């Protein structure tokens, strides 16, 4: 038991969690999600390309099953599951995902619409011609190798990328606590910018942007915030706004067609979702201008056709589509990459600087390798030429030796013991030989055919060529200027190989708001005694019989662009847009008015359209006898609920009389107030002050404690009667008294 206790390691739980999580986070960052700044590849991508090269899948070789490639990659270098490897393989083959695809796929590798790739057992792949710029000369000791996960193989720590792949193809990755999002760029522009940096390492980012003005996405499109690019390239972070490229064409029956020919890079591989979005906007009538949407895309390119109804504003519709669909999208830039096992945010210049520093290292290793190889070969050629001058002596040594080792020792060190010579002079001459070990081995392996005069001449030519090469290599390695000259020459060659015109346009565009186009027409709002509300167009209303109309308590004629205004006894006015009132047939019940606005338990006393309200004068009278005039223009607001009258002491609005300007100007209108106790009071409307909508009003009548205002009406000078509770009252017999006086008994006609 004591032995087991001694084997227990006690750790602080929080410290162990911190350490383990930190190790996990760094593993995800370095070994999974973030690319190396030198070759621009994530580990899984690098391993796939290296495994394909090991399988001999060069661009001029036949395709091989993707399952074999995935199997070799997983079994030898990347033991993290076949699906992640195959996904990375598919991604590197898609010309709408990478600016220069690194894999040449054969079969169904997905589509820009969003279709997934076929299973790996059905597809085939090989390296693309562009991938060779990342893999060539691996045998020249350009980069270091490391053991794989089980020490059974070795793999390169980085590929000898001779092109700035990170900027050309870009990358996307989500790690722990950070993410990388580097957009693709035009190969010609990036190479020109790299050469410009080599010529002037102090070049500014602004000057670099004359070579690399902005990203160049595989799907084209238009960058519309050109002014933000310098800030993005200087800080390594920012947002790029990309728009689809559209053309306006003439359609059938006088319509115009918006034709989308290029889509934003952010929806590459998900075009079908864009189509679903556009179709939904048309079906839901979010954009009433759209007549039809169809996808006419083919192998020749993208062609999404949006038919616009006749005589509609196409530019205005485009503004709305840019705002509500992914025809305009945002690409978030984050120039994050790994350098020396650390994630760092770079800017445009430092990304190019890291690539150039890597090229110096690669080319130095390459020319050191070539120099060493040339020197070794020169040593052999010098030995062979020297041997042809004493070939008779060498033959005598070989014939007189009892073993190869004895002959080799004689050639290298001049030891003649045990070798039979024809003469002392030959033995003395052999004792002066001092070939190197490499020369001695070449001499011993030399064929007799090399003694032909022509072959000897070839050796002298090779010697001269090797001496020239050695001088050239030493000159390049001894001068930064010469080394950079070689780098620039190679970059220009790659530029010719990868030449591609710019696909993405760059411009500065101010976003314009969409102005909804509505065809103005007359409608009728029908409200029954239960509060069910619906709208009927003018044509349908004209076909309704008078008997059917009797069941509706309120019928308001208004425009479809107007608002329905609702006044309540509690002193509020609510507004409902006519477009929000459901359009129904006469047989449909409609929707409760309480669901269209927040009326809740308030008592509605007046419905009207805002157009009518705006042109009217409103007379408010409360239960406690307060009265005021308010101009309808006072209620012009965008708010759905406003205070129409400020009430106190449990007061409430009894009546709202709407008077037109014509009524008021036509003569002296009389206001008649009736109370619950049967008292009446009349006075001219001109005595009622016009106040603000939120005011309480002024005293209209003096009431007893148990009395309250029950009814208010207005009559013109020529009107003799009015109706209250189905009773006809004589307007002329209502005595005119001063506003605020106590009323007198009303008399029936």
User: Could you tell me the CATH number of the domain that includes residue 482?
Assistant: 1.10.268.10
Residue 614 has pLDDT above 80, yes or no: yes
What pLDDT digit, counting tens, does each position of 297-345 carry? 888 889 999 999 888 888 888 988 998 899 999 999 999 999 988 889 9
User: In the chain, what percentage of residues exceed pLDDT 70?
Assistant: 94
In a domain, 543, yes or no: no
414: buried, middle or exposed (CB in 10 Å: 19+, 13-18, 0-12)?
middle
Last residue of a domain, one of 497, 513, 529: 497
Q: Do 45 and 133 fall into the same domain?
A: yes
Do 453 and 401 reside in the same domain of the chain? Answer: yes
Residue 653: inside a domain, yes or no?
yes
Is the separation of the CB atoms in 101 and 95 below 8 Å? yes
216 in any annotated domain: no
Q: Are residues 665 and 627 in the same domain?
A: yes
Residues 314 and 361 in one domain: no
Can you list the pairs that 393-400 forms with residues at least 24 positions away whose Cβ atoms lie under 8 Å?
Answer: 393/426, 393/429, 393/430, 393/433, 394/443, 396/421, 396/422, 396/426, 396/430, 397/421, 397/430, 398/444
| pLDDT for residue 516 | 67
In a 13 Å sphere around the CA of 572, the CA atoms on its Cβ side amount to: 15
Q: Would 83 be classed as within a structural domain?
A: yes
Residue 490 is part of which domain span?
353-497
- Same domain? For 362 and 320 the reply is no
- Whether residue 708 sits in one domain with residue 649: yes
Among all residues, which ones are annotated catalytic?
Answer: 122
Pair 109, 51 in one domain: yes
- pTM for the predicted model, two decimal places: 0.72
Q: Same domain, yes or no, for 303 and 389?
A: no
Distance CA 244, CA 293 (A): 16
For residues 668 and 91, the model is more confident at 91
Determine contact, residues 308/321, Cβ cutoff 8 Å: no
At which of 326, 341, 371 does a domain end?
326
Mean pLDDT calculated for residue range 738-742: 65
pLDDT, residue 238, reads: 94
User: CA nearest 125: which of 100, 149, 108, 150?
Assistant: 108
CATH code of 321's domain:
3.30.1360.40
User: By the 8 A CB rule, do 595 and 533 touch?
Assistant: no
- Lookup: tokens for 473: 């290599």
Same domain, 399 and 490: yes
Considering 308, 326, 344, which residue would you say is the last residue of a domain?
326
Q: Count of domains in the chain? A: 4
**What are the respective helix, strand and coil percentages of the chain, to the nearest 5?**
40, 25, 40
Clarify whether residues 66 and 152 are in a common domain.
yes
Would residue 570 count as lying in a domain? no
Task: Flag whether pLDDT at 157 surpasses 50.
Answer: yes
- Residue 576 pairs with which residues in a beta bridge? 564
- CB half-sphere exposure, 112, CA atoms < 13 A: 27
**Residue whose tokens read 């411009």:** 507
Of residues 448, 444, 450, the one with CA closest to residue 401: 444
Report the CATH number at residue 687: 2.120.10.90
In whole angstroms, what separates CA 29 from the centre of its chain?
22
- The CA distance from 517 to 310, in Å, is 13
Confidence grade of residue 394 (pLDDT, cut at 50, 70, 90): confident
Whether residue 672 is found in the same domain as residue 629: yes
Q: 504 lies in a domain?
A: no
On whether the CB atoms of residues 209 and 348 are closer than 8 A, the answer is yes
Check which CATH number belongs to the domain holding 135 and give it: 3.90.199.10
Residues 315 and 372 placed together within one structural domain of the fold: no
Classify residue 542: in a domain, yes or no. no
pLDDT greater than 60 at residue 749: no
Which tens digits make up the pLDDT trace of 100-150? 999 999 999 999 998 899 999 999 999 999 999 999 888 888 999 999 989
């Amino acid at each position: 038991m004591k032995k087991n206790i001694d084997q227990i390691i006690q750790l602080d739980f929080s410290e162990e969690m911190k350490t383990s999580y930190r190790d996990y986070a760094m593993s995800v960052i370095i070994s999974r999600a973030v690319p190396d700044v030198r070759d621009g590849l994530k580990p899984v991508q690098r391993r796939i390309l290296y495994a394909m090269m090991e399988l001999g899948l060069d661009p001029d070789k036949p395709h091989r099953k993707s399952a074999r490639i995935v199997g070799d990659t997983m079994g030898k270098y990347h033991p993290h599951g076949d699906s992640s490897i195959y996904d990375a393989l598919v991604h590197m083959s898609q010309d709408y995902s990478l600016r220069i695809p690194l894999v040449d796929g054969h079969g169904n590798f997905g589509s820009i619409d969003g279709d997934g790739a076929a299973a790996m057992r059905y597809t085939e792949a090989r390296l693309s011609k562009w991938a060779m710029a990342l893999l060539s000369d691996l045998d020249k000791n350009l980069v270091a190798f490391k053991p794989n996960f089980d020490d059974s193989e070795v793999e390169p720590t980085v590929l000898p990328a001779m092109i700035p792949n990170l900027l050309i193809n870009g990358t996307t990755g989500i790690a722990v606590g950070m993410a990388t999002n580097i957009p693709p760029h035009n190969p010609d522009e990036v190479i020109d910018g790299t050469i410009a940096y080599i010529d002037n390492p102090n070049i500014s980012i602004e000057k670099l942007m004359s070579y690399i003005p902005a990203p160049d996405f595989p799907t084209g499109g238009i960058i519309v915030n050109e002014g933000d690019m310098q800030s993005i390239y200087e800080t390594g972070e920012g947002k790029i706004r990309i728009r689809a490229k559209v053309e306006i064409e003439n359609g059938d029956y006088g319509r115009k067609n918006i034709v989308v020919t290029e889509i934003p890079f952010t929806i590459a591989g998900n075009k079908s979702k864009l189509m679903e979005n556009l179709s939904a906007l048309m079906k839901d009538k979010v954009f009433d201008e759209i007549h039809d949407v169809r996808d006419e895309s083919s192998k020749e390119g993208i062609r999404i056709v949006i038919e616009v109804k006749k005589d509609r504003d196409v530019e205005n519709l485009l503004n709305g589509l840019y705002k509500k669909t992914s025809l305009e999208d945002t690409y978030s830039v984050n120039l994050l990459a790994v350098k020396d096992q650390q994630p760092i945010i770079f800017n445009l210049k430092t990304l190019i600087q890291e690539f150039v520093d890597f090229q110096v290292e690669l080319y130095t290793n390459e020319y050191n390798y070539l120099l060493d190889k040339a020197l070794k070969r020169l040593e052999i050629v010098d030995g062979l030429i020297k041997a042809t001058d004493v070939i008779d002596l060498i033959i005598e040594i070989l014939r007189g030796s009892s073993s190869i080792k004895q002959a080799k020792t004689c050639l290298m060190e001049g030891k003649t013991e045990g070798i039979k010579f024809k003469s002392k002079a030959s033995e003395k001459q052999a004792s002066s030989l001092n070939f190197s070990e490499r020369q001695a081995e070449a001499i011993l392996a030399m064929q007799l055919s090399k003694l032909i005069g022509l072959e000897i001449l070839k050796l002298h030519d090779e010697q001269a060529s090797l001496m020239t090469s050695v001088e050239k290599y030493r000159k390049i390695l001894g001068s930064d200027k010469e080394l950079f000259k070689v780098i620039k020459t190679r970059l220009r060659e790659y530029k010719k190989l990868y030449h591609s015109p710019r696909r993405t346009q760059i411009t500065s565009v101010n976003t314009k708001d969409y102005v909804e186009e509505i065809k103005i027409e007359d409608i009728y709002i029908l409200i029954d005694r239960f509060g069910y509300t619906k709208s009927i167009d003018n044509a349908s209303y004209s076909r309704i019989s008078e008997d059917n109309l009797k069941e509706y308590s309120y019928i308001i004629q208004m425009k479809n662009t107007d608002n329905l205004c609702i006044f309540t006894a509690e002193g509020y006015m609510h507004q409902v847009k006519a477009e929000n009132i459901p359009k129904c047939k006469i047989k449909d019940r409609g929707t409760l008015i309480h669901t269209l606005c927040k009326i809740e338990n308030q008592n509605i006393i007046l419905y009207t359209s805002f157009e009518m309200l705006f042109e009217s004068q409103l007379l408010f009278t409360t239960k406690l006898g307060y009265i005021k005039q308010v101009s309808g223009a006072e209620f012009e607001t965008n708010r759905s609920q406003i205070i129409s009258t400020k009430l106190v002491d449990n007061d409430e609005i009894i009546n709202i009389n709407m008077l037109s300007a014509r009524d008021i100007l036509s003569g002296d209108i009389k206001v008649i107030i009736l109370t619950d106790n049967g008292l009446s009071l009349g006075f001219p409307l001109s005595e009622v002050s016009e106040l603000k909508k939120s005011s309480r009003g002024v005293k209209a009548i003096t009431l007893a404690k148990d009395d309250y205002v029950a009814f208010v009406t207005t009559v013109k000078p020529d009107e003799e009667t009015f109706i209250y509770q189905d009773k006809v009252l004589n307007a002329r017999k209502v005595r005119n008294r001063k506003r605020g006086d106590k009323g007198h008994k009303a008399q029936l006609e």
